[in-house]
A and B are shown apart, each in its own frame.
Chain A
Amino acid sequence: QAVVTQEPSLTVSPGGTVTLTCGSSTGAVTSGHFPYWMQQKPGQAPMTLIYDVNIKHSWTPARFSGSLLGGKAALTLSGALPEDEADYYCLLYYNRIRVFGGGTKLTVL
């Protein structure tokens, strides 16, 4: 089974910009992996922010954006707020199989 890699932790200052990345052990991440980004806060179920690389749900704050960057999927947060402190997970499709990354713990400090 493929392994999906994320930064274990990142820190961003309030109002700052940070980019989280999502790589694949099988090679470059492409649109064919349909990258998803989920946010999870303590004690809560995950919530999908981005799907299919860069498509936002109606509830996704505008400060979040998705892209492909250097062979990886990327989630960029511009203008970080304290409430953005959470765990972020990417998910990739491998044909019909889905694989989550290990998650990035984002600290806003």
Chain B
Amino acid sequence: QVQLVESGGGVVQPGRSLTLSCAASGFSFSSYGMHWVRQAPGKGLEWVALIWSDGSYKYYGASVTGRFTISRDNSKNTLSLQMNSLRVEDTALYYCARGGNGGPDFESWGQGILVTVSS
């Protein structure tokens, strides 16, 4: 079955960088776009980024454009999110989610990984 497992979270100071990973299994990773979605404590969902299946196109939400970079390694079935210039307001649970492949987005989600930005 489809599995998405996030890692790399933790506590980081404002202005620093952190890279999240999402290990995918149970499906043909290289055939699907992938998303990052986040949720601040007690708040709603916020779409962060999308990368196409071959990595050729990348799209970002307004609050992270220019600071975050989504990437993937199809040989390792791994999705990444490099987060630079982190702010307190980036504190959130970060989910990876499978995109569509001629079908619907967000069919499968990871359990999330917590990132806390604090001095």
The chain A residues found within 8 Å of chain B, CB to CB, are 1, 36, 38, 40, 45-48, 51-52, 55, 57, 87, 89, 91, 96-103
Contacts and interface: CB of A to CB of B under 8 A. Distances in A.
Given A96-B59, A97-B61, A55 B104 contact: yes
Nearest to B95: A45
Contacts, number: 58
Classify the secondary structure of A's interface with B: strand
B47 A103 contact: no
Interface of B: 35, 37, 44-47, 50, 57, 59, 61-62, 95, 104-107, 109-112
Nearest to B47: A98
B67 to A, nearest CB: 15
B50 A96 contact: yes
A100 B45 contact: yes
